[in-house]
Amino acid sequence: MSVRGLEEREGFEGRDEDSGAGAAESPAVPSRPGPRVTWRKLTFLPAFLVAVLLATWLWFARADLDPVSAKALSNGRVSEALWQHVRLTVISTFLVLVVAIPLGFLLARRAFGGGPMARAAGLTGRAVPAIGLLALLVMWLGTGTKAALVGITACAVLPVLSHTVAGLRANDSPVAPGILAGVRTALVLNVGTATLATFGGGGGLGVLIATGITTRRMPVLILGSVLTMTLALLVDWLASVAELLSGPRGCQELDAKKSMQKRCCKGPFA
Amino acid sequence: MNFWEYLGSHHRQLLTDAGQHASAVLGCMVVATVLGVLLGLATWRSAWAARLATTAGPSILAVPPLAVLGLLIPVVGLGVAPTVIALTLYGLPPVVRHAIVGLRAVDPSPVDAARVIGMTRPARVGLPLAWPSILTGIRGSTRMLMGVTAIAACASGPGLGKEIFRGLGSPDSENALNEVLAGTLGIVALTLLFDGAYVLLGRLTCVERAGLRAGRAPVEREGGGEGVRV
C-alpha cells in the first residue's frame, strides 16, 4: 500500500506548496526558480531505478538459486505477478475515478463541505486499515481478484474524492487539474494497495514478497520487494511528470496558495 | 461463536495485542518526531537541503510498506526489528516536511526580536510557533503507522495485525470473521483514540496565531490528514 498518495492529500501536498507558497513567503530563504531544479530531480529517479534494476538483474543472472527459490521464480511466475499487479492497479484506478470524479463534481458545486457527521464518517472511514478492509471483503466475497479489486478501490475512493474536490474548488474554472490530481492520487495509492492483494488470493507482486517470507528465501523476497518498489516509484514519477506537464507553474502556485488559504480557515485541528 | 462471545473469551489477548500495536506506533512516532524535527532544524534555512528533504520524503512514502519490509527482513530478520525500522522510516517524512514548512512560515519579527534582545537561538522561538504544523504532521503520520504496523504482522511483527492475518490465513474456519473483525475494529478504535488525543494536545499546547503568517503552514482537510491508506 502506498503512503504517498494520501500524504499528498494531507498537507504534504507535494512540490507546489513548498516551492510555491512556502518559498514565496519566506524572504529569509531565497529560492531558485523551480523548473531547473525540478527537471534535474526528475531525471535522477529514473536513472536510479534503471541502476537498481540492472544491478538486480546482474545479480540474479549470476546467482545459484536453491531449488525452492528457483521454483518460485520460474515459469514466468515473476512476469505473471507483475502483469497481475499492473492489471489490478489500472482496473481499480478506473473504478475509483468512475466513482470519485462525478461525486467530486457534485460535492465541489455545492458548498456542502459536510457537517460534523460527514467529517466523523470520513475520519472513521480513513481509520480503517487497508489490510483489514481487504480481509473483511475476503470474508464476504471469498478469495480472488474480485475482493482485491473492491478492496483496492474502496481504499482509494475517500482520499481521491477529497483531493478532487479540493482541486476543483481551488481552480474555479479549469476542470483538468482537478481530475488529473485525482488520477495521480489514485494511481499512486492503488499501486501500493495492490501489494496486499496477495493476502486475499488476488495475485500481484506481493505474491513474491509473501512467498519469500513464508519460505524464508531471501532471493525471492528481495526480487519481489525490488520490483514492487521500482513499479511504485515509477508510477509516482510518471504522475509527477504528468502534473508538471499539465499546467503552467504560475497557475499551480496560485492554486496552491488559494487552496492553502481555504484550508487555513479551519485550523489544523478542525 | 458470535463476535461478542469471541471478544469476551479472547479479550486478554486482544488487549495485549492492542497494547503492543499502540506502543509500537507511539514509540516509533516519538523517535521519528525527534529525528524529524532535528532534520527540519538542520535544513530549513538552506533552500536546496530543504527541497531535498521534502522531495526525498514523498519518494520514501511512495514505496509500499510490504516492499520496505521485504528489503529490511534480509538485513534484520523477522519480528519487531523490521517493523520498528519501517515505522520510523515512514514516520519521518511528514514530520520533516511540516517542520520545515512551519519554520519557514514563521513571521520573522518574533525571531528577529528574540535575536535583538540577545536570545542567540532563534529556533527556540521558531519551534514553538512551528509546533501546530509539526503536530499536524504527527497526526497524519500516526494514522499511517497504524496501518503499516498491521501489515508488518505478516513478518511476525507485533500488534493487532496478527489477528487479521490469522483470520485471513484460514478464511473458512469458524472464527475467521471474528478474528478479522476484532483486529480491524481494534485498529480503528486505536486510531480514533490517538487522533482524539492529538486534537486535545493541540488545543492545550498551540500558541494561537501569534507569529504565524496569514498563509501559514498547510493544514489538513477534514479532520486529520492521512499518510497512507493502509
Q: What is the pLDDT of residues A119-153, one digit of tens each?
A: 788 888 889 999 999 999 999 998 899 999 999 99
Q: What is the mean pLDDT of chain A?
A: 76
Could you give the CA distance from residue B177 to residue A136 in angstroms, rounded to a whole number?
7
Q: What pLDDT, on a 0 to 100 scale, did the predictor assign at position A225? A: 94
Contact residues, chain B, for A45 at CB < 8 Å: 59
Contact residues, chain A, for B24 at CB < 8 Å: none
Whether B214 maps to a domain, the answer reads: no
**Angstroms from A254 CA to nearest CA on chain B:** 12
| Cα nearest neighbour of B182 on chain A | A132
Q: Is the pLDDT of residue A189 over 70?
A: yes
Whether B5 maps to a domain, the answer reads: no
Burial (CB count <10 Å: 0-12, 13-18, 19+), residue B157 = buried
What residue spans of chain B are helical by DSSP H? 3-43, 47-62, 65-76, 80-105, 108-116, 122-152, 161-169, 176-205
Q: Is-contact A144 A202, C-beta < 8 A?
A: yes
Could you give the CA distance from residue B71 to residue A221 in angstroms, rounded to a whole number?
8
Q: Which of B212, B197, B199, B44 is nearest to B128 (CA)?
A: B212
Please give the angle made by the CA atoms of B200, B23 and B175, to the nearest 5 degrees: 110
A197–chain B Cβ distance below 8 A for any pair = no
List phi, psi (to 5°) of A113: -85, -5
Whether B211 maps to a domain, the answer reads: no
Contact residues, chain A, for B182 at CB < 8 Å: none
**Angstroms from A147 CA to nearest CA on chain B:** 12
- Mutation target among B55, B66, B187 for the A interface, most CBs of A within 10 A: B66
Contacts 24+ apart (CB under 8 A), B170-176: B171/A138, B171/A139, B171/A142, B171/A143, B174/B1, B175/B1, B175/B6, B176/A139
Q: What pLDDT, on a 0 to 100 scale, did the predictor assign at position B46? A: 80
| Cα nearest neighbour of B228 on chain A | A3
Contact residues, chain B, for A128 at CB < 8 Å: 184, 187-188
The string of pLDDT tens digits covering residues A5-18 is 444 444 333 333 33
Whether B11 maps to a domain, the answer reads: no
Terminal CA-CA length for chain A = 27
Cβ contacts of residue B72 below 8 Å, gap of 6+?
B81, B82, B85, B86
Superfamily of domain A4-264: MetI-like (1.10.3720.10)
Greatest C-alpha distance within chain A: 63
**How many alpha carbons fall within 13 Å on the CB side of residue A66?**
8
Contact residues, chain A, for B102 at CB < 8 Å: none
Could you give the CA distance from residue A137 to residue B176 in angstroms, rounded to a whole number?
12
Neighbours of A65 (CB within 10 A): 15
Contact A12 B94 (CB under 8 A): yes
- State the CATH number of the domain containing residue B101: 1.10.3720.10
**Stretch A192-199: mean pLDDT:** 94
Neighbours of A58 (CB within 10 A): 10
Q: Is the pLDDT of residue A64 over 90?
A: no
- Mutation target among A18, A52, A131 for the B interface, most CBs of B within 10 A: A131
ipTM field: 0.82
Q: What pLDDT, on a 0 to 100 scale, did the predictor assign at position A241? A: 83
List phi, psi (to 5°) of A123: -60, -50
A228–chain B Cβ distance below 8 A for any pair = yes
| Cα nearest neighbour of A34 on chain B | B51
Q: What pLDDT, on a 0 to 100 scale, did the predictor assign at position B54? A: 73
pTM of the model: 0.79
Whether B184 maps to a domain, the answer reads: yes
**Angstroms from A45 CA to nearest CA on chain B:** 9
| Portion 93-132 of A in contact with B at CB < 8 A | 114, 119-120, 122-124, 126-132
What is the residue whose three cell numbers read 524572504? A27
Please give the angle made by the CA atoms of A202, A206 and A212, to the nearest 5 degrees: 125
What is the residue whose three cell numbers read 499512486? A188
Q: Which pLDDT tens digits describe chain B residue by residue (230 residues)?
A: 788 888 888 899 999 999 999 999 999 999 999 998 888 888 877 878 877 877 788 888 999 999 999 999 999 999 999 999 999 999 999 888 888 877 777 656 666 666 666 554 556 666 777 788 888 888 888 999 999 999 999 999 999 999 999 999 888 888 889 999 999 999 999 999 999 999 898 888 865 544 444 444 444 443 344 444 54
Q: Which of B129, B135, B72 is nearest to B104 (CA)?
A: B129
Residue of B55, B59, B218 lying closest to A260 (CB–CB): B218
Q: Is the pLDDT of residue A2 over 60?
A: no
DSSP string across B40-100:
HHHHSSSHHHHHHHHHHHHHHHHS-HHHHHHHHHHHH-SSHHHHHHHHHHHHHHHHHHHHH
**Stretch A49-78: mean pLDDT:** 82
Contact A11 B167 (CB under 8 A): no
A56–chain B Cβ distance below 8 A for any pair = no
Whether B217 maps to a domain, the answer reads: no
Q: Which of A251, A195, A247, A197 is nearest to A226 (CA)?
A: A195
Cβ contacts of residue B98 below 8 Å, gap of 6+?
A11, A12, B40, B130, B133, B134, B136, B137, B217
pLDDT band of residue A244 (cuts 50, 70, 90) is: confident
A239–chain B Cβ distance below 8 A for any pair = no
Contact residues, chain A, for B213 at CB < 8 Å: 25
Could you give the CA distance from residue A252 to residue A258 in angstroms, rounded to a whole number?
10
Could you give the CA distance from residue A193 to residue A196 in angstroms, rounded to a whole number?
6
Could you give the CA distance from residue A215 to residue B126 in angstroms, rounded to a whole number?
51
Q: How many domains does chain B have?
A: 1
Q: Is-contact B144 B28, C-beta < 8 A?
A: no
What is the span of the domain harbouring residue B146? 19-205
Whether B1 maps to a domain, the answer reads: no
Contact A226 B71 (CB under 8 A): yes
In three-state secondary structure terms, B214 is: coil
pLDDT band of residue A174 (cuts 50, 70, 90) is: low
